[in-house]
Amino acid sequence: MDATTAVAGSTPAMFSVIVDAMIDAAVAGTSPEGCTIGGLMVTEEAGLRGYVGKALREAVTIARLMDGTRPVNDTRE
């Protein structure tokens, strides 16, 4: 179980750091005033990252409520 917990719980976090680094590198390589950075700025101004995070927390909250577990660090406190 310890190995499963480490792989299932830690690997996504490590992978997200790698992906985040790749995204930062891609953003740094966009041309100023270009279409890529223009689109990214719209998503940032709209708060897309926050909404995706909140949506995932809500999904976890509902899953915990379904199995009777008390929600911890969720969207309904």
pTM of the model: 0.58
Q: What is the pLDDT of residues 24-64, one digit of tens each?
A: 898 888 888 899 889 989 999 999 989 998 888 888 888 88
Give yes or no for a contact between 52 and 44, defined as CB atoms under 8 angstroms apart: no
DSSP state, 67?
A: T
